[in-house]
């Protein structure tokens, strides 16, 4: 079958990116995947994907190394920029957070976009986050947040939400660059991403489920979670890439569920795990965040749909079990 096109996926070994690579290969795209170590065991799953031997090329690249990015992107039609720094354990001061998260996210994104301009890329899909939408205390109370809402950078700093700040900073810089350069950039902003893992390493959102199943917390804050399936995120990326009318930002979320409801759903299917002993009412700050209802209406108008929450939870848990992470 004829090649559908060539797409570079940055951070190809990660949770969302791996599913994007799998989907693209299934649709007869040739994929250039950037990873830090093409020979590393943690990227071995990519080489086992259907059509990978013929259509997947892994490139050693770093977000802050422009030349390595350009070499990966050259010859492609489009780019899915998925790679992003993920918060490590607590860092004692804001300056360290800026160095660890915010500068690599923003500067790395600009490197990718500059390489895209030089390589003549037709469209860039930037994977941002619902975190770049939701933290805005001046948004009208009770009003559902759409793509016109941006997280307030000063509020992110004041509340130590460094991941939110890094995603907001990087996405806003991406659109600034697009406006100045004429590069076609579209962003997708997923919320908390669940679903089966292709990779062998644990990603931060799958860890949320693992902890609910095995940590046996004495109590758990009953806060709102906005979730989406990783496979539906991958579908969203390809959808906005292929729709000529797609523009700007697209919130990607499917289900709003309180922590208690999530635990009860899991218990009804998997009764024998070490669930939290009791739920506690959210703090005042969490209640403010619980008003952050985001809408995927714009993405759905483009033709996107999502699977039931129960399907996502079952496939997530079965994947975690298969990986031996609940022993």
Task: Name the catalytic one among 51, 167, 173, 267.
Answer: 167
The DSSP 8-state label assigned to residue 130 in this structure reads T
Nearest to 19 by CA among 109, 105, 82: 82
First to last CA, the chain: 43
Separation between Cα atoms, residue 158 and residue 14, nearest integer Å: 30
Separation between Cα atoms, residue 22 and residue 56, nearest integer Å: 10
Residue with tokens 């390589």: 119
Three-point CA angle 70, 72, 78, nearest 5°: 90
Q: Which helix (H) or strand (E) holds 326?
A: none
Is 57 labeled as catalytic in the residue annotation? no
Separation between Cα atoms, residue 190 and residue 253, nearest integer Å: 6
The DSSP 8-state label assigned to residue 244 in this structure reads T
Alpha helices in 74-203 (DSSP H): 94-97, 103-119, 131-134, 153-158, 162-181
Q: Is 96 helix (H, G, I), strand (E, B) or coil?
A: helix
Residue 159: C-alpha distances to residues 92, 188, 221 (Å): 14, 24, 18
Three-point CA angle 125, 22, 67, nearest 5°: 50
Query: Do residues 16 and 195 touch, judged by C-beta distance below 8 A?
Result: no
Residue with tokens 């033709």: 303
The DSSP 8-state label assigned to residue 41 in this structure reads G
Number of helices followed by number of strands (H, E) in the chain: 15, 12
Nearest to 276 by CA among 264, 286, 268: 264
By annotation, the residues acting in catalysis are 167
């Amino acid at each position: 079958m004829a090649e559908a096109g060539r797409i570079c996926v940055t951070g190809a070994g990660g949770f969302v990116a791996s599913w994007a690579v799998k989907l693209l290969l299934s649709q007869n795209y040739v994929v250039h995947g950037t990873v830090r170590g093409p020979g590393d065991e943690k990227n071995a799953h990519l080489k086992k994907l259907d059509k990978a031997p013929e259509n997947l090329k892994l490139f050693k690249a770093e977000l802050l190394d422009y030349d390595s990015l350009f070499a990966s992107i050259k010859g492609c039609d489009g780019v899915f920029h998925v790679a992003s720094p993920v918060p490590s354990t607590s860092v004692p001061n804001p300056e360290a957070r800026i160095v660890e998260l915010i500068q690599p996210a923003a500067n790395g994104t600009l490197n990718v976009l500059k390489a895209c301009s030089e390589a003549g890329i037709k469209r860039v899909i930037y994977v941002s986050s619902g975190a770049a939408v939701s933290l805005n205390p001046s948004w009208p109370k009770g009003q559902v947040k759409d793509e016109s809402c941006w997280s307030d950078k000063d509020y992110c700093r004041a509340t130590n939400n460094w991941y939110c700040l890094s995603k907001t900073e990087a996405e806003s810089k991406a659109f600034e660059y697009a406006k100045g350069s004429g590069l076609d950039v579209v962003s997708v902003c997923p919320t908390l991403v669940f679903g089966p893992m292709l990779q062998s390493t644990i990603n931060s959102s799958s860890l949320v489920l693992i902890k609910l199943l095995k940590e046996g917390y004495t109590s758990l804050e009953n806060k709102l979670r906005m979730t989406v399936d990783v496979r539906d995120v991958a579908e969203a990326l390809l959808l906005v890439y292929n729709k000529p009318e797609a523009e700007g930002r697209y919130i990607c979320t499917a289900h709003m569920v309180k922590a208690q409801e999530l635990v009860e759903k899991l218990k009804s299917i998997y009764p024998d795990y070490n669930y939290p002993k009791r739920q506690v009412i959210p703090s005042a700050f969490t209640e403010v965040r619980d008003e952050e209802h985001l809408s995927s209406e714009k993405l759905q108008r483009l033709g996107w749909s999502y699977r039931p929450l129960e399907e996502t939870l079952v496939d997530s848990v079965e994947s975690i079990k298969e990986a031996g992470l609940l022993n």
